[in-house]
Amino acid sequence: MQSLYEYDFRNSLDIDELTTDIDEVLNRNIDIYKDAVDEADFIKDLATGTIKNQEKIDSMITPAAPEWPLDQIAKIDRAILRMSIYELLIKKDVPPKVAINEAVELAKEFGGENSSKFINGVLGTIFRQSDLYDPKEDKRANQPEEGSKQDSSKSQE
C-alpha cells in the first residue's frame, strides 16, 4: 500500500523528472523494510497488478463514490481502494470479506477519521455489483426491512 501511495503521489506532481516507475518504488521500499517484509513477490504482484489495472479499477470506484471524484479522494484512501479492488475482483485469491476487512483495517491505521467507513462503503457497493456477490450469502439481504409486509405480518400474529 505504501508503494502505491508513493507512486500515486510522485506521479501526481506533474514534474517529468519525478515520474516514477512502480518497480523503482517497490524495490526501494522492500529494501528499506526488508526485515518486516516476508513476501516480496506477493507485494510486487499486488502493486504491479493494481497499477496495470488502474484504469479498470478507477472505472469501478467512480460510480460507487459519485460524491467523490477520484482526484478528491485522499491519496491513501485511493491507494487502499485500488489495491483492495484488485485483490477482490481481479486477482480473486482472497475471500471477499477478508479483502474488505483488510482494507478497512488499513484505512483505520493509515487513513483519516472517516476513511474506514468510506472504504467499507465503496468496497461494499462495488462488491454487491460484481458477479462474485451472492445475495443468498448476505445476511443483510435476507432480512426483511422494517415496515415491510413480511416484517409487519409477524407483528400482527
Contact 107, 115 (CB under 8 A): yes
Joined together, the cell numbers standing for residue 59 give 472505472
Sign of the Cα pseudo-torsion (92, 93, 96, 100, in order): negative
- The count of other CB atoms within 10 Å of the CB of residue 126 is 22
Q: Is the pLDDT of residue 35 over 60?
A: yes
Contact 52, 24 (CB under 8 A): no
Contact 5, 51 (CB under 8 A): no
At 12, the pLDDT band (50, 70, 90 cuts) reads low
Q: Is the pLDDT of residue 21 over 90?
A: no
Q: Is the pLDDT of residue 157 over 50?
A: no
Residue 101: DSSP 8-state: H
pTM of this structure: 0.71
Range with lowest mean pLDDT among 6-10, 99-103, 121-125:
6-10
CA 135 from chain center: how many Å?
A: 21
Sign of the Cα pseudo-torsion (101, 107, 113, 119, in order): negative
Joined together, the cell numbers standing for residue 122 give 465503496
Q: Is the pLDDT of residue 30 over 50?
A: yes
Joined together, the cell numbers standing for residue 40 give 516480496
Q: Tell me the average pLDDT across 141-149.
A: 49
pLDDT tens, residue by residue, 99-121: 999 999 999 999 999 999 999 99
Show the domains of the chain with their CATH numbers: 2-143 (1.10.940.10)
Whole-number mean pLDDT of the chain? 79
User: pLDDT above 70 covers what percent of the chain?
Assistant: 68
Length reported for the chain: 157
Residue with the three cell numbers 409487519:
152
More confident residue, 20 or 97: 97
